[in-house]
């Protein structure tokens, strides 16, 4: 999915920490701080405005207002 966004020239927020391997030859489109959303780390969300961010479904619940 993220590769399709890149081909469509949409900019993505990545940290390039996870390099390409035998499963994903072109590298991963990940941003590690996404994994810290359940711990309350949302300070990066403003930086992500207008960018594509890869997020698995589980942490999306943390974005909902309580």
Q: For 3-38, write each residue's pLDDT tens digit.
A: 788 778 888 898 988 888 898 887 888 899 988 888
List the one residue out of 45, 39, 51, 43 whose CA is nearest residue 10: 51
| 66: confidence class by pLDDT, cuts 50, 70, 90 | low
Where do the structural domains in the chain lie, given as residue ranges?
1-66
Instruction: Find out whether 35 and 60 touch, Cβ atoms under 8 Å.
Output: no
Helix, strand, or coil (residue 56)? coil
Q: What is the pLDDT of residue 63?
A: 74
pLDDT at residue 60 tops 80 = no
pTM above 0.75, yes or no: no
């Amino acid at each position: 999915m993220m590769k399709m966004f890149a081909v469509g020239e949409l900019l993505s927020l990545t940290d390039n920490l996870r390099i390409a391997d035998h499963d994903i030859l072109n590298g991963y489109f990940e941003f590690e701080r996404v994994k810290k959303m359940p711990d309350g780390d949302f300070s990066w969300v403003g930086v992500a405005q207008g960018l594509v961010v890869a997020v698995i479904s589980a942490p999306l619940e943390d974005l909902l207002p309580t």
